[in-house]
A = this chain, B = another copy of it.
Amino acid sequence: MHRMNQETLNIETSGRGTYDISSEIQSIVNKSSIKAGLCNLFLQHTSASLIFCENADSTVRVDLENFMANIAPDGAPIYQHDMEGPDDMPAHIRTILTQNSLTIPIINGRCALGTWQGIYLWEHRTSGHNRSIIITLQG
């Protein structure tokens, strides 16, 4: 193993919801021409996260939103931290319950995702944000 590439991917979100970034990540792997190795994604934020999720039926992601809204409701009186509004603290909770760093194997030049797996950026703030993901490829 002799190669390492790093680059940054910026994603402009339009507010709370999941954004499929699988093809953007695969494009970066293609460009590197690494055929076997690992791909690490690191999201530099505390109010958005990265998940692997079912990529066929979009109601899965609707249900995930509703699940999170249930266990970490916006504006709950229990929160002390609400400087940036009722969605501020729930965004931090949703982030620590999911991930900010994902590592994916590369096999035959492809992110070796399962048939039903997609890579999603999950924006937890209600307003849109510019989110940075550092991609480190090893091969």
Residues of A within 8 A of B (CB): 1-4, 6, 36-38, 40, 42-47, 51-54, 57, 59-60, 62-64, 66-67, 70-72, 78-81, 83, 89, 92-93, 95-105, 107, 112-117, 132, 134, 136, 138-139
Contact = CB atoms under 8 A, between A and B. Distances in A.
A103 B42 contact: yes
A92 B64 contact: yes
Given A6-B107, A53-B96, A93-B64, A44 B134 contact: no
Copies of this chain, whole number = 3
Contact of A66 (B36, B71, B78): B78
Contacts of A52: 46, 95-96, 100-101
Contacts of A101: 52, 102-104
